């Protein structure tokens, strides 16, 4: 891709792989009741965008190792084999993990693993066939025990050359909540973050760029949701805001037409500046 391109090349032979890990049942933690709704709807939204979706329900570390053909000695980083796949003809990669969590960690059925083990195998130096391509990670899990009561807002009336990129470039990590805080989930309708993400991907995934989509997800979760648990005052009438860490260097469009339009707009902008 041209070093000055403002849009990622999403015209490869295939969209790419989307891996979803949904941890629902645990040996020592509460069951995430009806959490399969989240993985099912996210899988549907991603397939609609052209991804090859692989869904794994309740994988413990050994199961993850088996599914991804990882040896037992590699359990500390069970995602390493996926990074060894050839992604040359793919646009990008998506990995989503849904579970209980703490700051920096996620729980599997029988153990705990580091959240950053999801993306470190896919950095440009470790996975060359994804270098320069977007790698997108979505994490639905608590990141602590703090809660947010919110604050009321009153509206006022008034040319192709070789170039070097950092290893961690082209990665986006979207967390369901800010570090240190609870992540809310409705046992009937699903988690706030994943449900908002699915709605936005289904509605605007083929027309808007990803960061615009994620801004809408953040807005919907932050404004449209509030917990209702009068039997548990510590989590009653609480708010939540997703948190995004983006190292993306270009815009991500899942539609070829929208990508082409964005490129044309960028070229016109450069021409007007040159003039």
Q: Cα separation of 242 and 168, whole Å?
A: 21
Closest by CA to 151, choosing from 226, 235, 218, is: 226
Average pLDDT over residues 175-193: 94
Confidence band of 258 (pLDDT split at 50, 70, 90) = confident
The CA R_g of the chain, rounded to the nearest whole Å, is: 20
Average pLDDT over residues 211-223: 97
Q: Cα separation of 229 and 222, whole Å?
A: 18
Please report, for residues 15, 104, 144, 183, 228, the alpha-carbon distance to residue 107 in angstroms, rounded to integers and kept in the order given. 29, 11, 13, 14, 25
Average pLDDT over residues 248-260: 87
How big is the CA angle at 91 (ends 89 and 97), to the nearest 5 degrees?
115
Answer CATH for 17-145+167-272 from 3.40.50.1460, 3.40.50.2000, 3.40.50.300, 1.20.1250.20: 3.40.50.1460
Supply the mean pLDDT for the chain.
Answer: 86
Residues involved in catalysis: 100, 142
């Amino acid at each position: 891709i041209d070093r000055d391109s403002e849009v990622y090349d999403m015209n490869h032979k295939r969209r790419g792989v989307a891996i979803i890990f949904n941890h629902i049942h645990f040996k020592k933690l509460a069951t995430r009741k009806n959490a399969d709704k989240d993985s099912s709807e996210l899988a549907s939204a991603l397939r609609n965008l052209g991804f090859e979706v692989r869904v794994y329900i309740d994988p413990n570390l050994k199961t993850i190792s088996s599914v991804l053909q990882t040896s037992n000695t590699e359990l500390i980083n069970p995602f390493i084999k996926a990074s060894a796949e050839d992604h040359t003809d793919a646009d990008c990669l998506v990995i989503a993990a849904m579970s209980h969590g703490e700051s920096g960690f996620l729980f599997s059925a029988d153990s705990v693993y580091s959240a950053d083990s999801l993306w470190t195998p896919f950095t440009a130096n470790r996975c060359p066939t994804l270098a320069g391509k977007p790698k997108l990670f979505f994490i639905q899990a608590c990141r602590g025990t703090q809660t947010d009561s919110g604050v009321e807002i009153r509206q006022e009336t008034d040319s192709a050359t070789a170039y070097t990129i950092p290893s961690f470039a082209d990665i986006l990590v979207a967390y369901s909540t800010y570090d240190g805080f609870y992540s809310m989930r409705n046992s009937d309708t699903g988690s706030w973050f994943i449900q908002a993400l699915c709605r936005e991907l289904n509605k605007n995934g083929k027309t808007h760029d990803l960061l615009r989509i994620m801004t809408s997800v953040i807005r919907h979760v932050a404004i449209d949701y509030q917990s209702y648990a009068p039997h548990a005052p510590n989590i009653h009438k609480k708010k939540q805001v997703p948190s995004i860490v983006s190292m993306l260097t270009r815009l991500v469009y899942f539609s070829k037409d929208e990508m082409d339009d964005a490129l044309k707009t960028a070229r016109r902008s450069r021409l007007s500046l040159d003039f």
